[in-house]
A and B are shown apart, each in its own frame.
Chain A
Amino acid sequence: MVTFKDFRNNVKPNWCPGCGDFSVQAAIQRAAANVGIEPTDLAVISGIGCSGRISGYIHSYGFHGIHGRALPIAQGLKMANRDLNVIASGGDGDGFAIGMGHTIHAIRRNIDITYIVMDNQIYGLTKGQTSPRSAAGFKTKSTPGGAIEPSLAPLEMALTAGATFVAQGFSSDLKELTSIIEAGINHKGFSFINVFSPCVTYNKINTYDWFKEHITKLSNVEGYDPSNRGQAMATLMEHESLVTGIIYQNAEQPSYQEQVNGYAQTPLSTEELMMSNRDFDKLVKEFM
């Protein structure tokens, strides 16, 4: 039996003490163990930024890519080996600024991977600039007069883009976060999980306490039905997206891979490279 300890390695994270990302790391490790994945069957693909380092802190296959491009790398990997469990992860700058084009299309495409955004509403590694998730009026080094642009609403965006799994967690609720990630891994399709992961160094507004004060847990909302897309959207708007739990899941929609014509049921990575002489002759004759 695998345990979360099997997913620990000997690398000491270079995150600041108290960083929300520690909980995300722990939640991934616990969720993977709970689902029963072997470390060699898990690949964590990450972007650039503080959060991007996570692929090096989990004992599994890991790929620390380029800024904003974790998702296409992760999708390519999953297409190559459909038996692998693939988790893509990164920060809010990675996923909602430079990588937004990939995020929205990965959601639409619905390849069976899990995407975890460590959302701290700030650029940390470059030492405190505004992010697409910073609220209007938020003062940073790049917005000394306060951010003019409104904060992006990624969960609502995901719903309109056709997401089949939308969830949100909070770093100080490891238990809930673990169960969300577990559900994401088990979901057959693209699971989009946004995590409030406070930056203790550069974000003095959206702190642990601030989130505790503002967050509503969906498990406490009576009659909440995550299969109801309309209710999901209304609830997000009502609570200004400050909710945690599984917001929406469509378990009926088949994943991308299941709909691809001719796509092998076994991993492409195990296929023979050479084709038969007969197949080759057939291809060549089309040009005669």
Chain B
Amino acid sequence: MLHQLSWKVGGQQGEGIESTGEIFSMAMNRLGYFLYGYRHFSSRIKGGHTNNKICVRTTEVRTIPDDLDILVAFDQETIEVNYKELTASSVILADAKFKPQHPEDCVATMYVIPFTEIASELGTSLMKNMVAIGATSALLNLDKSVFQGVVDEIFGRKGESIVEKNMEAIQQGYEIMAQNLGDRIGEWELEPADGKRRLFMIGNDAIALGALAAGVRFMAAYPITPATEIMEYMIKKLPDFGGTVIQTEDEIAAATMAIGANYGGVRSFTASAGPGLSLMMEAIGLSGMTEQPLVIVDTQRGGPSTGLPTKQEQSDLMQMIYGTHGEIPKVVIAPSTGQEAFFDTIEAFNIAEELQLPVIVLSDLQLSLGKQTVEPFDYSKIGLRRGRLQTETDLPEVEDKSYFKRFEVTEDGVSPRVVPGMKNGIHHVTGVEHDETGKPSEAAANRQMQMDKRMRKLKHVNFPNPIYQYAPHEDADVLLVGFNSTRGVLEEVQANLNAQGIRANHAQVRLIHPFPVSHVAPLVTTAKKVLVVENNATGQLANIIKMNVGMHDKIVNVLKYDGTPFLPRELTNRVKELLADGYI
């Protein structure tokens, strides 16, 4: 029996490929397996090759494996594009309809199954996906009842006969596959899972749910890949909580509208990707200068310019840390799992209000869209902190129309905050340098005082666990460092290296800015070499580490920027080659 299975379905975009993967993985999730799904798709609505690769395992998984065990193909292109991932023990389940050709150098076995024909006989060719799921279940020796609950939920609204037909399609898929397989039936049977119910979600779901749980009641956003799901989730859910989303005319309006709502005392945010963040830079500066809380989610994708809109990259790091003209205090948080995406988003709203500054929740396409198993969230662990937000009744009576000291110089740089509508709280807010009451002031002494006050806030960032680390070795041969979605692949690579006698530690940086020097420095110090693994061309995180920690000679870039994520074996081999070459 297998510990891990990797399964992929591919075809033309708009053909239901996504829902095939969805139904298969939902059923596996409910059996208690851990899953990780990653979609290959293009920037178009219909047509073009798309596939959904899903890894099913009895233990945690957050990366796509190099190999593929089962490939379900609805067109020849799917075979051509993906067969190199197959091994000698792999199988292709190909729809007879497109008269599949077995590539000459393909080592896997191909079974040609009349998916479309069976589906059409049952009433509609659309059900070919269900026949394919049935065929898959024969390979895995799964009973069709496993799919009953999921099919009920998805097709229940369309009536009982549709549910029955879909279940029949699964049954017939199973039967015809069983006939074809002969004694190979059940060869891909997985070890039983623990049956525990867990969440199965994309990172964007976790971020959006986190925002809702953090008390967000207003969002302003402009659609963009790969951030749109966050906005769509909020549009769906906010009305139940009295709130709403405005789809703005552009990202400039999105960010400034979110600032306006935060100024009004409501937790609000926006979410976008690189091109949108470029437009938001002036708003980020305004938030920093006027000390209005603002949370922005940046789901990184391939840049620059329009770049690779549907592909993985991590090249916005420098812009997120330094972007906007002039100098402001800013916090950049980079979750690396679904669990972290949820809790870190909540923390982002807390920090934004506690320190009254912009907080970037940095994600990347693989984290935002990759679908992973997540342990259920414990709502009782959530604490919401609003810092020095005053209540109206606490405000002292104002005399002579004097303004509230909204920008009072304090020890930690954080001033008491009031919002419009409060009696005795009138003050002015401006992006021009200002005094403690918000009146414009260019006086040198005031400028210095206000600048110092704002920047001082960065010394008081209270973020629990600024890095994730698994560092079993006191003197490591190598320290692997990454941020965002590379967590999963680095965990596998670390395990591979350790199994091969190379002492590897691993750190995933969660608080990017201000950089957690005291957490990272000891790990760098005790490692012989530090490999910083990132999906960009210039080694942005490596440069940040060099700037903050030093020890430049130890730090080596391991980069990939072709739009595809790192794979465990590929990366393990690269690390070993680097070691063997004496390059490091």
Q: Which residues of A line the B interface, CB within 8 A? A: 9-11, 39-41, 43, 45, 53, 55-56, 59-66, 69, 71-81, 83-84, 101-102, 104-105, 109, 260-264, 267-269, 271-275, 277, 279-281, 283-284, 287-288
Q: Name which residue of chain A comes closest to B382, CB basis.
A: A274
Distance of A220 from chain B, by nearest CB (Å): 38
Q: Is the CB of A63 within 8 A of B429?
A: yes
Question: For B212, what are the chain A residues with a Cβ–Cβ distance below 8 Å?
Answer: 275, 283
* Known contacts A76-B256, A105-B253; A264 and B264 CB within 8 A of each other: no
* Known contacts A262-B239, A284-B376; A65 and B286 CB within 8 A of each other: yes
* Known contacts A69-B283, A76-B256, A81-B264; A284 and B199 CB within 8 A of each other: yes
Partner of A64, one of B283, B285, B429: B429
* Known contacts A43-B420, A76-B258; A69 and B239 CB within 8 A of each other: no
Alpha-carbon distance A281/B422, docked complex (angstroms): 35
14 interchain pairs, CB-CB under 8 A: A65-B256, A69-B282, A72-B253, A73-B257, A79-B218, A79-B257, A81-B419, A261-B239, A267-B264, A267-B421, A271-B242, A272-B215, A273-B267, A287-B209
Question: For A101, what are the chain B residues with a Cβ–Cβ distance below 8 Å?
Answer: 249-250, 252-253
Partner of B200, one of A55, A59, A288: A288
Alpha-carbon distance A65/B255, docked complex (angstroms): 12
Given contacts A76-B268, A79-B218, 4 further A-B contacts (CB under 8 A): A41-B421, A73-B259, A109-B246, A287-B200
Chain B window 416-430, contacts with chain A (Cβ cutoff 8 Å), 1 for yes, 0 for no: 000111111111111
Question: For A281, what are the chain B residues with a Cβ–Cβ distance below 8 Å?
Answer: 379
Q: Is the CB of A287 within 8 A of B218?
A: no
Question: For A268, what are the chain B residues with a Cβ–Cβ distance below 8 Å?
Answer: 217-218, 242-243, 261, 264, 266
* Known contacts A63-B263, A69-B283, A262-B238; A40 and B401 CB within 8 A of each other: no
Q: Is the CB of B257 within 8 A of A55?
A: no
Q: Is the CB of B420 within 8 A of A77?
A: yes
Asked whether B214 is an interface residue with its Cβ less than 8 Å from the other chain, the reply is yes
Question: For A11, what are the chain B residues with a Cβ–Cβ distance below 8 Å?
Answer: 439
Q: Is the CB of A56 within 8 A of B428?
A: yes
Q: Name which residue of chain A comes closest to B282, CB basis.
A: A66
Alpha-carbon distance A40/B514, docked complex (angstroms): 37
Asked whether B260 is an interface residue with its Cβ less than 8 Å from the other chain, the reply is yes
Question: For B241, what are the chain A residues with a Cβ–Cβ distance below 8 Å?
Answer: 262, 271, 275, 279
Distance of B305 from chain A, by nearest CB (Å): 20
Distance of A126 from chain B, by nearest CB (Å): 15
Q: Is the CB of A287 within 8 A of B259?
A: no
Alpha-carbon distance A104/B253, docked complex (angstroms): 12
Q: Is the CB of A102 within 8 A of B249?
A: yes
Question: For A277, what are the chain B residues with a Cβ–Cβ distance below 8 Å?
Answer: 379-380
Q: Which 6 A-B pairs have the closest CB atoms?
A: A76-B260, A262-B239, A273-B215, A80-B264, A264-B242, A269-B265
Partner of A76, one of B259, B384, B428, B438: B259
Asked whether B228 is an interface residue with its Cβ less than 8 Å from the other chain, the reply is no
Q: Is the CB of B264 within 8 A of A77?
A: yes
Alpha-carbon distance A109/B439, docked complex (angstroms): 32
In the complex, how many residue pairs between chain A and chain B have their CB atoms under 8 Å apart? 214
Distance of A2 from chain B, by nearest CB (Å): 13
Alpha-carbon distance A64/B424, docked complex (angstroms): 20
Question: For B249, what are the chain A residues with a Cβ–Cβ distance below 8 Å?
Answer: 101-102, 104-105
Q: Is the CB of A288 within 8 A of B199?
A: yes
Asked whether B30 is an interface residue with its Cβ less than 8 Å from the other chain, the reply is yes
Distance of A110 from chain B, by nearest CB (Å): 12
Q: Is the CB of A66 within 8 A of B263?
A: no
Distance of B269 from chain A, by nearest CB (Å): 11
Chain B window 174-210, contacts with chain A (Cβ cutoff 8 Å), 1 for yes, 0 for no: 0000000000000000000000011111000100010
Q: Is the CB of A72 within 8 A of B256?
A: yes
Q: Is the CB of B421 within 8 A of A263?
A: no
Q: Name which residue of chain B comes closest to A282, CB basis.
A: B240
Q: Is the CB of B256 within 8 A of A84?
A: no
Partner of B264, one of A39, A40, A76: A76
Q: Is the CB of A84 within 8 A of B253?
A: no
* Known contacts A73-B259, A76-B263; A271 and B426 CB within 8 A of each other: no
* Known contacts A62-B429, A283-B212; A262 and B240 CB within 8 A of each other: yes
Alpha-carbon distance A254/B341, docked complex (angstroms): 39
Q: Is the CB of B426 within 8 A of A40?
A: yes
Question: For B86, what are the chain A residues with a Cβ–Cβ distance below 8 Å?
Answer: none
Q: Is the CB of A66 within 8 A of B218?
A: no
Alpha-carbon distance A283/B208, docked complex (angstroms): 11
Q: Name which residue of chain A comes closest to B250, CB basis.
A: A101
Asked whether B98 is an interface residue with its Cβ less than 8 Å from the other chain, the reply is no
Q: Is the CB of B430 within 8 A of A284?
A: no
Alpha-carbon distance A239/B248, docked complex (angstroms): 34
Asked whether B431 is an interface residue with its Cβ less than 8 Å from the other chain, the reply is yes
* Known contacts A75-B257, A76-B257, A288-B198; A263 and B243 CB within 8 A of each other: yes
Q: Name which residue of chain A comes closest to B384, CB basis.
A: A273
Question: For A80, what are the chain B residues with a Cβ–Cβ distance below 8 Å?
Answer: 218, 260-266, 268
Alpha-carbon distance A66/B285, docked complex (angstroms): 10
* Known contacts A63-B430, A76-B258; A288 and B197 CB within 8 A of each other: yes
Distance of B337 from chain A, by nearest CB (Å): 14
Distance of B246 from chain A, by nearest CB (Å): 7
Q: Name which residue of chain A comes closest to B403, CB basis.
A: A9
Partner of B246, one of A10, A41, A79, A84: A79
Q: Is the CB of A76 within 8 A of B242?
A: no
Question: For A43, what are the chain B residues with a Cβ–Cβ distance below 8 Å?
Answer: 420
Alpha-carbon distance A266/B136, docked complex (angstroms): 53
Question: For B30, what are the chain A residues with a Cβ–Cβ distance below 8 Å?
Answer: 288
Question: For A63, what are the chain B residues with a Cβ–Cβ distance below 8 Å?
Answer: 260, 263, 290, 428-430
Q: Is the CB of B257 within 8 A of A84?
A: no
Residue of B264, B290, B376, B384 most packed against chain A (CB within 10 A):
B264
Distance of B317 from chain A, by nearest CB (Å): 25
Alpha-carbon distance A61/B430, docked complex (angstroms): 11
* Known contacts A43-B420, A262-B240; A59 and B213 CB within 8 A of each other: no
Q: Name which residue of chain A comes closest to B29, CB basis.
A: A288
Alpha-carbon distance A56/B434, docked complex (angstroms): 11
Q: Is the CB of B421 within 8 A of A65?
A: no
Q: Is the CB of A105 within 8 A of B421?
A: no
Alpha-carbon distance A66/B281, docked complex (angstroms): 12
Q: Is the CB of B197 within 8 A of A66?
A: no
Alpha-carbon distance A23/B237, docked complex (angstroms): 46
Q: Is the CB of B420 within 8 A of A61?
A: yes
Distance of B302 from chain A, by nearest CB (Å): 27
* Known contacts A75-B260, A77-B263, A268-B266; A56 and B430 CB within 8 A of each other: yes
Q: Is the CB of A287 within 8 A of B199?
A: yes
Asked whether B220 is an interface residue with its Cβ less than 8 Å from the other chain, the reply is yes
Partner of B244, one of A104, A262, A288: A262
Q: Is the CB of A105 within 8 A of B282?
A: no
Q: Is the CB of A10 within 8 A of B250?
A: no
Partner of A66, one of B215, B238, B283: B283
Q: Name which residue of chain A comes closest to B214, CB basis.
A: A273
* Known contacts A69-B256, A77-B420; A64 and B428 CB within 8 A of each other: yes
Asked whether B440 is an interface residue with its Cβ less than 8 Å from the other chain, the reply is yes
Question: For A76, what are the chain B residues with a Cβ–Cβ distance below 8 Å?
Answer: 218, 220, 256-264, 268
Residue of A11, A72, A284 most packed against chain B (CB within 10 A):
A72
Partner of B286, one of A66, A272, A288: A66
